[in-house]
Structure 1
Amino acid sequence: MPPRLHCPGPLAEGVALALPAGAARHVQVLRLQPGDPVVLFDGRSGEWIATVARMGRSDVHVTVGTHRPVEREAGREVHLALGMPANDRMDWLVEKAAELGVASIQPLLTDRTVVRLAGDRAARRQEHWQAIAIAACEQCGGNRVPAVHPPLPFAQWTPPATMLRCVLSLDSAATPLLQFAAGEESPVLLLSGPEGGLTEREEAEARAAHFAPVTLGPRVLRAETAPLAALAALALSARG
Protein backbone atom coordinates (compact mmCIF):
# COMPACT_ATOMS: atom_id res chain seq x y z
CA MET A 1 0.00 0.00 0.00
CA PRO A 2 1.53 3.38 -0.97
CA PRO A 3 2.38 5.70 1.92
CA ARG A 4 -0.02 8.60 2.61
CA LEU A 5 1.59 12.03 2.89
CA HIS A 6 0.22 15.43 3.80
CA CYS A 7 1.07 18.08 1.22
CA PRO A 8 -0.59 21.47 1.82
CA GLY A 9 -1.03 22.07 -1.92
CA PRO A 10 -3.46 22.91 -3.35
CA LEU A 11 -3.11 19.76 -5.41
CA ALA A 12 -4.27 19.23 -9.00
CA GLU A 13 -3.77 16.53 -11.61
CA GLY A 14 -0.57 16.95 -13.62
CA VAL A 15 1.12 19.31 -11.15
CA ALA A 16 4.81 18.67 -10.39
CA LEU A 17 5.95 19.76 -6.94
CA ALA A 18 8.49 19.28 -4.18
CA LEU A 19 7.19 17.57 -1.06
CA PRO A 20 7.35 19.39 2.29
CA ALA A 21 10.40 18.54 4.39
CA GLY A 22 8.61 16.08 6.68
CA ALA A 23 6.97 14.19 3.84
CA ALA A 24 10.27 14.15 1.89
CA ARG A 25 12.08 12.60 4.88
CA HIS A 26 9.37 9.96 5.11
CA VAL A 27 9.85 9.02 1.44
CA GLN A 28 13.62 8.85 1.90
CA VAL A 29 13.34 6.68 5.03
CA LEU A 30 11.11 4.27 3.08
CA ARG A 31 13.75 4.26 0.30
CA LEU A 32 11.21 4.90 -2.41
CA GLN A 33 12.50 5.35 -5.94
CA PRO A 34 11.39 7.33 -9.00
CA GLY A 35 8.24 5.72 -10.38
CA ASP A 36 6.99 4.55 -6.98
CA PRO A 37 3.43 5.63 -6.03
CA VAL A 38 2.44 7.75 -3.04
CA VAL A 39 -0.92 9.08 -1.87
CA LEU A 40 -1.18 12.82 -1.13
CA PHE A 41 -3.85 14.82 0.68
CA ASP A 42 -4.02 18.58 1.14
CA GLY A 43 -6.79 18.91 3.72
CA ARG A 44 -9.37 20.16 1.22
CA SER A 45 -11.11 17.08 -0.14
CA GLY A 46 -10.21 13.52 -0.96
CA GLU A 47 -6.74 12.30 -1.84
CA TRP A 48 -4.48 12.16 -4.87
CA ILE A 49 -2.44 9.36 -6.40
CA ALA A 50 1.05 10.68 -7.20
CA THR A 51 4.34 9.28 -8.46
CA VAL A 52 7.86 9.97 -7.23
CA ALA A 53 9.58 11.86 -10.06
CA ARG A 54 12.99 12.67 -8.59
CA MET A 55 14.95 11.97 -5.41
CA GLY A 56 17.47 14.60 -4.33
CA ARG A 57 19.84 14.69 -1.36
CA SER A 58 17.22 16.34 0.83
CA ASP A 59 14.30 16.96 -1.52
CA VAL A 60 11.74 14.74 -3.21
CA HIS A 61 9.72 15.76 -6.27
CA VAL A 62 6.47 14.12 -7.30
CA THR A 63 3.95 14.34 -10.11
CA VAL A 64 0.31 14.47 -9.04
CA GLY A 65 -2.05 12.06 -10.78
CA THR A 66 -5.73 11.26 -10.38
CA HIS A 67 -7.99 12.45 -7.58
CA ARG A 68 -9.96 10.02 -5.39
CA PRO A 69 -12.99 11.63 -3.69
CA VAL A 70 -12.76 9.39 -0.62
CA GLU A 71 -13.57 10.85 2.80
CA ARG A 72 -13.10 9.18 6.19
CA GLU A 73 -14.02 12.04 8.49
CA ALA A 74 -16.00 11.79 11.71
CA GLY A 75 -19.76 12.08 11.41
CA ARG A 76 -19.87 14.99 13.85
CA GLU A 77 -17.59 18.05 14.01
CA VAL A 78 -16.05 18.14 17.48
CA HIS A 79 -13.55 20.73 18.71
CA LEU A 80 -11.54 19.99 21.84
CA ALA A 81 -10.30 22.49 24.44
CA LEU A 82 -8.36 20.95 27.30
CA GLY A 83 -6.15 21.64 30.24
CA MET A 84 -2.87 20.11 29.06
CA PRO A 85 -1.89 16.83 30.73
CA ALA A 86 1.71 16.46 31.86
CA ASN A 87 4.74 14.87 30.22
CA ASP A 88 4.19 12.93 27.00
CA ARG A 89 0.49 12.39 27.65
CA MET A 90 -0.36 15.46 25.60
CA ASP A 91 1.53 13.99 22.63
CA TRP A 92 -0.48 10.77 22.95
CA LEU A 93 -3.75 12.67 23.33
CA VAL A 94 -3.13 14.77 20.19
CA GLU A 95 -2.30 11.66 18.19
CA LYS A 96 -5.38 9.72 19.28
CA ALA A 97 -7.71 12.73 18.99
CA ALA A 98 -6.56 13.21 15.38
CA GLU A 99 -7.20 9.51 14.69
CA LEU A 100 -10.73 9.92 16.10
CA GLY A 101 -11.41 12.84 13.78
CA VAL A 102 -11.25 15.86 16.08
CA ALA A 103 -11.69 19.13 14.16
CA SER A 104 -9.31 21.25 16.27
CA ILE A 105 -7.44 21.23 19.58
CA GLN A 106 -7.02 24.21 21.91
CA PRO A 107 -4.42 23.55 24.65
CA LEU A 108 -5.21 25.52 27.82
CA LEU A 109 -3.15 26.51 30.86
CA THR A 110 -5.52 26.05 33.78
CA ASP A 111 -4.95 26.42 37.52
CA ARG A 112 -4.01 22.75 37.84
CA THR A 113 -1.99 22.47 34.63
CA VAL A 114 1.48 21.15 35.50
CA VAL A 115 3.18 22.12 32.24
CA ARG A 116 3.71 25.89 31.85
CA LEU A 117 4.44 27.10 28.34
CA ALA A 118 5.07 30.57 26.96
CA GLY A 119 6.99 32.34 24.19
CA ASP A 120 9.32 30.26 22.03
CA ARG A 121 8.77 27.15 24.10
CA ALA A 122 5.01 27.32 23.53
CA ALA A 123 5.55 27.87 19.80
CA ARG A 124 7.86 24.84 19.58
CA ARG A 125 5.34 22.64 21.39
CA GLN A 126 2.53 23.80 19.13
CA GLU A 127 4.64 22.97 16.06
CA HIS A 128 5.48 19.57 17.59
CA TRP A 129 1.82 18.77 18.29
CA GLN A 130 0.77 19.89 14.82
CA ALA A 131 3.32 17.50 13.32
CA ILE A 132 1.90 14.69 15.46
CA ALA A 133 -1.60 15.48 14.19
CA ILE A 134 -0.37 15.40 10.59
CA ALA A 135 1.38 12.05 11.09
CA ALA A 136 -1.75 10.60 12.71
CA CYS A 137 -3.88 11.64 9.71
CA GLU A 138 -1.33 10.18 7.32
CA GLN A 139 -1.56 6.86 9.17
CA CYS A 140 -5.32 6.62 9.77
CA GLY A 141 -6.60 7.84 6.41
CA GLY A 142 -8.02 11.16 7.57
CA ASN A 143 -7.95 13.91 4.96
CA ARG A 144 -8.63 16.89 7.24
CA VAL A 145 -5.78 17.69 9.60
CA PRO A 146 -7.01 19.22 12.88
CA ALA A 147 -5.53 22.60 13.73
CA VAL A 148 -3.60 22.58 17.01
CA HIS A 149 -3.87 26.14 18.31
CA PRO A 150 -1.24 27.96 20.40
CA PRO A 151 -1.53 27.24 24.15
CA LEU A 152 -3.52 29.90 26.00
CA PRO A 153 -4.20 30.69 29.66
CA PHE A 154 -7.76 29.65 30.49
CA ALA A 155 -8.64 33.23 31.47
CA GLN A 156 -7.54 34.56 28.06
CA TRP A 157 -9.38 32.00 25.96
CA THR A 158 -12.46 33.17 24.05
CA PRO A 159 -14.56 30.17 22.93
CA PRO A 160 -16.08 30.29 19.42
CA ALA A 161 -19.65 31.55 19.62
CA THR A 162 -21.36 29.28 17.08
CA MET A 163 -20.75 25.89 18.70
CA LEU A 164 -22.70 23.68 21.07
CA ARG A 165 -20.66 24.01 24.28
CA CYS A 166 -20.17 21.38 26.97
CA VAL A 167 -17.70 20.74 29.79
CA LEU A 168 -16.85 17.32 31.22
CA SER A 169 -17.91 17.44 34.84
CA LEU A 170 -18.06 15.23 37.95
CA ASP A 171 -21.23 16.98 39.08
CA SER A 172 -23.84 14.33 39.88
CA ALA A 173 -26.44 16.50 38.15
CA ALA A 174 -24.49 16.67 34.87
CA THR A 175 -26.30 15.50 31.74
CA PRO A 176 -25.04 12.34 29.97
CA LEU A 177 -23.00 13.50 27.00
CA LEU A 178 -24.96 11.66 24.31
CA GLN A 179 -28.26 12.83 25.76
CA PHE A 180 -26.97 16.41 25.64
CA ALA A 181 -25.83 16.11 22.01
CA ALA A 182 -28.78 14.06 20.74
CA GLY A 183 -30.61 15.67 17.83
CA GLU A 184 -28.06 18.48 17.51
CA GLU A 185 -26.23 19.13 14.24
CA SER A 186 -24.13 22.12 15.33
CA PRO A 187 -20.39 21.62 15.87
CA VAL A 188 -19.58 20.59 19.44
CA LEU A 189 -16.98 22.36 21.60
CA LEU A 190 -15.87 20.00 24.37
CA LEU A 191 -13.96 21.41 27.36
CA SER A 192 -11.96 19.02 29.53
CA GLY A 193 -9.67 19.63 32.50
CA PRO A 194 -6.10 18.53 33.30
CA GLU A 195 -5.03 16.12 36.05
CA GLY A 196 -7.31 16.93 38.98
CA GLY A 197 -9.86 18.54 36.67
CA LEU A 198 -10.93 22.14 36.41
CA THR A 199 -11.21 24.07 39.66
CA GLU A 200 -14.64 25.05 40.97
CA ARG A 201 -13.95 28.61 39.85
CA GLU A 202 -12.99 27.55 36.32
CA GLU A 203 -16.01 25.28 35.95
CA ALA A 204 -18.25 28.09 37.22
CA GLU A 205 -16.72 30.42 34.63
CA ALA A 206 -17.31 27.81 31.94
CA ARG A 207 -20.97 27.47 32.93
CA ALA A 208 -21.33 31.26 32.90
CA ALA A 209 -20.01 31.10 29.30
CA HIS A 210 -22.84 28.67 28.42
CA PHE A 211 -20.90 25.42 28.75
CA ALA A 212 -23.36 22.74 29.84
CA PRO A 213 -21.94 20.20 32.35
CA VAL A 214 -21.91 16.69 30.84
CA THR A 215 -20.80 13.30 32.11
CA LEU A 216 -19.46 10.08 30.62
CA GLY A 217 -20.72 7.98 33.53
CA PRO A 218 -19.78 7.14 37.13
CA ARG A 219 -16.11 6.30 36.52
CA VAL A 220 -13.41 8.91 36.98
CA LEU A 221 -11.28 8.86 33.83
CA ARG A 222 -7.76 10.20 33.47
CA ALA A 223 -7.16 13.61 31.93
CA GLU A 224 -5.91 12.08 28.69
CA THR A 225 -8.64 9.39 28.58
CA ALA A 226 -11.81 11.39 29.21
CA PRO A 227 -11.73 13.64 26.11
CA LEU A 228 -10.88 10.67 23.87
CA ALA A 229 -13.78 8.66 25.27
CA ALA A 230 -16.06 11.63 24.60
CA LEU A 231 -14.75 12.01 21.03
CA ALA A 232 -15.27 8.32 20.33
CA ALA A 233 -18.79 8.39 21.76
CA LEU A 234 -19.79 11.43 19.69
CA ALA A 235 -18.26 10.00 16.51
CA LEU A 236 -20.03 6.65 16.91
CA SER A 237 -23.36 8.26 17.80
CA ALA A 238 -23.22 10.45 14.69
CA ARG A 239 -22.73 7.37 12.53
CA GLY A 240 -25.61 5.53 14.21
Structure 2
Amino acid sequence: MRLNRIYQNQPLLINSIVALDKSASIHLSKVLRIAIDSRIELFNGNGHRYQAEIVSIERNQVSARVLSEHSVNNESPLNIHLFQAVSRGDKMDLTVQKSVELGVKEFTPIISERCGVKLDQKRWQKKLEHWQKVIISACEQSGRDVVPVINPVLNWDEAIKKINNCFFLDPHTNITLADIKKPNLQQKIQLWIGPEGGFSDSEVAEIESSGTTPVSLGPRILRTETAALATVSALNTLWGDFIQTNTKKS
Protein backbone atom coordinates (compact mmCIF):
# COMPACT_ATOMS: atom_id res chain seq x y z
CA MET A 1 0.00 0.00 0.00
CA ARG A 2 1.33 3.42 -0.94
CA LEU A 3 1.95 5.71 2.03
CA ASN A 4 0.68 9.28 2.22
CA ARG A 5 3.60 11.52 1.22
CA ILE A 6 4.10 14.78 3.08
CA TYR A 7 6.66 17.52 2.39
CA GLN A 8 8.27 19.15 5.42
CA ASN A 9 10.72 22.03 5.22
CA GLN A 10 12.79 20.90 8.20
CA PRO A 11 15.56 18.42 9.05
CA LEU A 12 14.44 14.79 9.24
CA LEU A 13 16.63 12.59 11.44
CA ILE A 14 16.07 8.92 12.22
CA ASN A 15 14.47 8.37 15.66
CA SER A 16 13.62 12.06 16.01
CA ILE A 17 10.06 13.24 16.63
CA VAL A 18 9.01 16.00 14.25
CA ALA A 19 6.06 18.33 14.67
CA LEU A 20 4.47 18.58 11.24
CA ASP A 21 3.53 22.02 9.97
CA LYS A 22 -0.03 23.26 10.36
CA SER A 23 -1.12 22.56 6.80
CA ALA A 24 0.11 18.96 6.88
CA SER A 25 -1.31 18.42 10.36
CA ILE A 26 -4.78 19.60 9.37
CA HIS A 27 -4.73 17.55 6.17
CA LEU A 28 -3.73 14.36 7.99
CA SER A 29 -6.01 14.78 10.98
CA LYS A 30 -9.10 16.48 9.53
CA VAL A 31 -9.15 15.34 5.90
CA LEU A 32 -7.54 11.91 5.97
CA ARG A 33 -8.50 11.28 9.63
CA ILE A 34 -5.26 9.43 10.16
CA ALA A 35 -4.78 7.46 13.40
CA ILE A 36 -1.90 7.15 15.84
CA ASP A 37 0.60 4.46 14.76
CA SER A 38 -0.25 5.04 11.09
CA ARG A 39 2.72 5.17 8.73
CA ILE A 40 3.43 8.11 6.44
CA GLU A 41 6.30 9.10 4.15
CA LEU A 42 8.11 12.40 4.65
CA PHE A 43 10.56 14.25 2.40
CA ASN A 44 12.26 17.63 2.63
CA GLY A 45 13.73 18.05 -0.84
CA ASN A 46 17.18 16.62 -0.13
CA GLY A 47 16.64 13.65 -2.46
CA HIS A 48 15.75 11.18 0.31
CA ARG A 49 12.47 9.91 1.71
CA TYR A 50 11.69 9.00 5.29
CA GLN A 51 9.20 6.51 6.63
CA ALA A 52 7.57 7.83 9.80
CA GLU A 53 4.94 6.79 12.33
CA ILE A 54 2.28 9.06 13.79
CA VAL A 55 2.83 9.39 17.55
CA SER A 56 0.42 12.15 18.55
CA ILE A 57 -2.61 13.96 17.15
CA GLU A 58 -3.90 17.14 18.76
CA ARG A 59 -6.25 19.82 17.44
CA ASN A 60 -4.04 21.29 14.74
CA GLN A 61 -0.80 19.50 15.48
CA VAL A 62 0.34 16.08 14.34
CA SER A 63 3.74 14.68 15.33
CA ALA A 64 5.59 11.71 13.86
CA ARG A 65 8.67 9.67 14.68
CA VAL A 66 11.13 9.21 11.81
CA LEU A 67 11.80 5.48 11.44
CA SER A 68 14.01 5.05 8.39
CA GLU A 69 15.64 6.84 5.47
CA HIS A 70 15.70 5.70 1.85
CA SER A 71 17.13 7.01 -1.40
CA VAL A 72 15.20 6.46 -4.65
CA ASN A 73 16.63 8.02 -7.79
CA ASN A 74 13.60 8.80 -9.92
CA GLU A 75 14.80 12.14 -11.26
CA SER A 76 14.86 12.72 -15.01
CA PRO A 77 18.25 12.44 -16.73
CA LEU A 78 17.34 15.70 -18.47
CA ASN A 79 18.03 18.92 -16.58
CA ILE A 80 15.20 20.97 -18.10
CA HIS A 81 14.77 24.61 -17.11
CA LEU A 82 11.37 25.84 -18.31
CA PHE A 83 11.11 29.53 -19.17
CA GLN A 84 7.34 29.87 -19.35
CA ALA A 85 5.51 33.04 -20.31
CA VAL A 86 2.89 33.52 -17.61
CA SER A 87 -0.57 32.42 -18.75
CA ARG A 88 -3.95 33.43 -17.41
CA GLY A 89 -6.17 31.75 -14.85
CA ASP A 90 -5.27 28.23 -13.84
CA LYS A 91 -3.34 27.49 -17.05
CA MET A 92 -0.04 28.36 -15.40
CA ASP A 93 -0.89 26.09 -12.46
CA LEU A 94 -1.53 23.23 -14.89
CA THR A 95 1.75 23.85 -16.71
CA VAL A 96 3.76 23.90 -13.49
CA GLN A 97 2.02 20.88 -11.98
CA LYS A 98 2.33 18.61 -15.00
CA SER A 99 5.88 19.75 -15.78
CA VAL A 100 6.92 18.67 -12.29
CA GLU A 101 5.37 15.26 -12.94
CA LEU A 102 7.31 15.05 -16.21
CA GLY A 103 10.63 15.84 -14.51
CA VAL A 104 11.29 19.56 -15.10
CA LYS A 105 13.87 20.72 -12.55
CA GLU A 106 13.62 24.51 -12.69
CA PHE A 107 11.03 27.13 -13.61
CA THR A 108 11.39 30.79 -14.54
CA PRO A 109 8.11 32.64 -15.22
CA ILE A 110 8.62 35.39 -17.79
CA ILE A 111 6.62 38.43 -18.90
CA SER A 112 6.72 38.74 -22.67
CA GLU A 113 5.10 41.31 -24.94
CA ARG A 114 1.84 39.41 -25.42
CA CYS A 115 1.58 38.20 -21.84
CA GLY A 116 -1.89 39.06 -20.56
CA VAL A 117 -1.06 38.99 -16.85
CA LYS A 118 0.02 42.29 -15.32
CA LEU A 119 0.55 42.43 -11.54
CA ASP A 120 2.43 44.55 -9.06
CA GLN A 121 5.44 43.20 -7.17
CA LYS A 122 3.45 42.20 -4.10
CA ARG A 123 0.95 40.18 -6.12
CA TRP A 124 3.74 38.55 -8.11
CA GLN A 125 5.27 37.41 -4.84
CA LYS A 126 1.95 35.83 -3.86
CA LYS A 127 1.87 34.09 -7.24
CA LEU A 128 5.34 32.68 -6.64
CA GLU A 129 4.30 31.39 -3.22
CA HIS A 130 1.23 29.78 -4.81
CA TRP A 131 3.30 28.12 -7.57
CA GLN A 132 5.71 26.83 -4.93
CA LYS A 133 2.76 25.08 -3.26
CA VAL A 134 1.70 23.64 -6.62
CA ILE A 135 5.25 22.29 -7.11
CA ILE A 136 5.34 20.68 -3.66
CA SER A 137 1.91 19.11 -4.13
CA ALA A 138 3.03 17.68 -7.49
CA CYS A 139 6.16 16.24 -5.85
CA GLU A 140 4.02 14.61 -3.15
CA GLN A 141 1.78 13.06 -5.79
CA SER A 142 4.47 11.99 -8.29
CA GLY A 143 7.00 10.61 -5.83
CA ARG A 144 9.75 13.14 -6.48
CA ASP A 145 12.07 13.71 -3.52
CA VAL A 146 13.88 16.69 -5.06
CA VAL A 147 11.75 19.85 -5.19
CA PRO A 148 12.15 21.85 -8.42
CA VAL A 149 13.26 25.47 -8.18
CA ILE A 150 10.85 28.33 -8.95
CA ASN A 151 12.70 31.54 -9.76
CA PRO A 152 11.39 35.11 -9.47
CA VAL A 153 9.31 36.40 -12.37
CA LEU A 154 11.49 38.10 -15.01
CA ASN A 155 10.51 40.73 -17.55
CA TRP A 156 11.66 40.17 -21.12
CA ASP A 157 14.84 42.27 -20.92
CA GLU A 158 15.93 40.37 -17.80
CA ALA A 159 15.00 36.96 -19.17
CA ILE A 160 16.77 37.28 -22.53
CA LYS A 161 20.09 37.80 -20.73
CA LYS A 162 19.71 34.29 -19.25
CA ILE A 163 19.35 32.49 -22.57
CA ASN A 164 21.73 29.55 -23.02
CA ASN A 165 21.52 26.07 -24.57
CA CYS A 166 17.92 26.81 -25.47
CA PHE A 167 15.02 25.36 -27.43
CA PHE A 168 12.14 27.66 -28.23
CA LEU A 169 8.90 26.85 -29.98
CA ASP A 170 8.05 28.61 -33.24
CA PRO A 171 5.06 27.25 -35.22
CA HIS A 172 6.39 28.92 -38.38
CA THR A 173 9.63 26.95 -38.66
CA ASN A 174 10.05 23.61 -40.44
CA ILE A 175 12.72 22.41 -37.99
CA THR A 176 11.55 19.69 -35.60
CA LEU A 177 13.14 18.23 -32.49
CA ALA A 178 14.14 15.17 -34.55
CA ASP A 179 16.34 17.47 -36.65
CA ILE A 180 18.22 18.73 -33.59
CA LYS A 181 21.56 17.23 -32.61
CA LYS A 182 21.42 15.49 -29.24
CA PRO A 183 22.45 18.04 -26.60
CA ASN A 184 24.99 17.51 -23.86
CA LEU A 185 22.79 15.93 -21.19
CA GLN A 186 25.19 17.04 -18.48
CA GLN A 187 24.20 20.63 -19.20
CA LYS A 188 21.00 22.44 -18.35
CA ILE A 189 18.51 22.55 -21.24
CA GLN A 190 16.42 25.71 -21.44
CA LEU A 191 12.94 25.40 -22.92
CA TRP A 192 11.24 28.71 -23.80
CA ILE A 193 7.46 28.71 -24.26
CA GLY A 194 5.53 31.80 -25.30
CA PRO A 195 2.18 33.06 -23.99
CA GLU A 196 -1.25 32.91 -25.60
CA GLY A 197 -0.55 34.49 -28.97
CA GLY A 198 3.07 33.38 -28.95
CA PHE A 199 6.27 35.40 -28.91
CA SER A 200 6.17 38.62 -30.94
CA ASP A 201 8.23 38.95 -34.13
CA SER A 202 10.75 41.15 -32.36
CA GLU A 203 11.10 38.63 -29.51
CA VAL A 204 11.61 35.78 -31.96
CA ALA A 205 14.29 37.80 -33.75
CA GLU A 206 15.99 38.54 -30.44
CA ILE A 207 16.00 34.88 -29.42
CA GLU A 208 17.32 33.80 -32.82
CA SER A 209 20.09 36.41 -32.68
CA SER A 210 21.45 34.57 -29.64
CA GLY A 211 22.18 31.57 -31.86
CA THR A 212 19.19 29.58 -30.64
CA THR A 213 17.39 27.38 -33.15
CA PRO A 214 13.58 27.51 -33.28
CA VAL A 215 11.67 24.22 -33.37
CA SER A 216 8.15 23.21 -34.30
CA LEU A 217 5.90 20.52 -32.84
CA GLY A 218 3.98 20.09 -36.07
CA PRO A 219 1.45 21.87 -38.30
CA ARG A 220 -1.09 22.74 -35.60
CA ILE A 221 -0.98 25.70 -33.24
CA LEU A 222 -0.84 24.49 -29.65
CA ARG A 223 -2.09 26.35 -26.60
CA THR A 224 0.69 27.58 -24.34
CA GLU A 225 -0.03 24.98 -21.65
CA THR A 226 -0.19 22.19 -24.24
CA ALA A 227 3.05 23.33 -25.89
CA ALA A 228 5.11 23.10 -22.70
CA LEU A 229 3.89 19.63 -21.75
CA ALA A 230 4.14 18.27 -25.29
CA THR A 231 7.71 19.53 -25.67
CA VAL A 232 8.88 18.14 -22.32
CA SER A 233 7.29 14.81 -23.26
CA ALA A 234 9.01 14.87 -26.66
CA LEU A 235 12.38 15.61 -25.06
CA ASN A 236 11.84 12.70 -22.67
CA THR A 237 11.01 10.45 -25.62
CA LEU A 238 14.14 11.46 -27.52
CA TRP A 239 16.71 11.57 -24.72
CA GLY A 240 15.10 11.13 -21.32
CA ASP A 241 12.86 9.01 -19.11
CA PHE A 242 10.62 7.55 -21.78
CA ILE A 243 13.32 6.05 -23.98
CA GLN A 244 15.26 4.77 -20.95
CA THR A 245 12.17 3.06 -19.59
CA ASN A 246 11.48 1.42 -22.95
CA THR A 247 15.08 0.24 -23.21
CA LYS A 248 14.94 -1.40 -19.81
CA LYS A 249 11.79 -3.30 -20.68
CA SER A 250 13.02 -4.55 -24.06
What TM-score do you get using the length of structure 1 for normalisation?
0.91
Which of 106, 114, 117 lines up with 2:116 in the alignment? 114
Q: Which residue is 1:126 aligned to?
A: 128
Q: Which residue is 2:107 aligned to?
A: 105
- In structure 2, stretches of 5+ residues that fail to align are 244-250
Q: Which residue is 1:213 aligned to?
A: 214
Q: Which residue is 1:22 aligned to?
A: 23
1:182 paired with 2:182, answer yes
Counterpart AA for 1:184: N
Q: Deviation at 1:226?
A: 0.3
Counterpart AA for 2:22: A
* Separation in 2, partners of 1:6, 1:210: 40
1:44 paired with 2:27, answer no
CA contact (8 A) 1:178 1:234 kept: no
CA contact (8 A) 1:40 1:47 kept: yes
| Inter-CA distance 139–159: structure 2 relative to 1 (3 Å threshold) | farther
Q: Deviation at 1:48?
A: 1.0
* Separation in 2, partners of 1:65, 1:198: 51
Cα RMSD, aligned residues only: 1.8
Q: Which residue is 1:86 aligned to?
A: 88
* Separation in 2, partners of 1:158, 1:18: 43
Counterpart AA for 2:10: G
* Separation in 2, partners of 1:39, 1:179: 43
SS at match of 1:66: strand
Counterpart AA for 2:159: W
* Separation in 2, partners of 1:190, 1:84: 14
* Separation in 2, partners of 1:191, 1:181: 18
Q: Deviation at 1:189?
A: 0.5
Q: Deviation at 1:92?
A: 1.2
CA contact (8 A) 2:98 2:138 kept: yes
Greater mean deviation of Cα atoms: 203-212 or 24-33: 203-212
SS at match of 1:188: strand
1:148 paired with 2:150, answer yes
Greater mean deviation of Cα atoms: 142-151 or 204-213: 204-213
1:201 paired with 2:202, answer yes
In the TM superposition, what whole-angstrom CA distance separates every residue of 1:168-202 from its partner, at most 9, and x where no partner exists? 112324x3224425253122100010001000111
Q: Deviation at 1:158?
A: 5.4
CA contact (8 A) 2:12 2:18 kept: no
CA contact (8 A) 1:16 1:61 kept: yes
Q: Which residue is 1:167 aligned to?
A: 168
Q: Say which structure is richer in helix.
A: 2
CA contact (8 A) 1:91 1:132 kept: yes
- In structure 1, stretches of 5+ residues that fail to align are none
| Inter-CA distance 128–234: structure 2 relative to 1 (3 Å threshold) | same
* Separation in 1, partners of 2:197, 2:74: 34
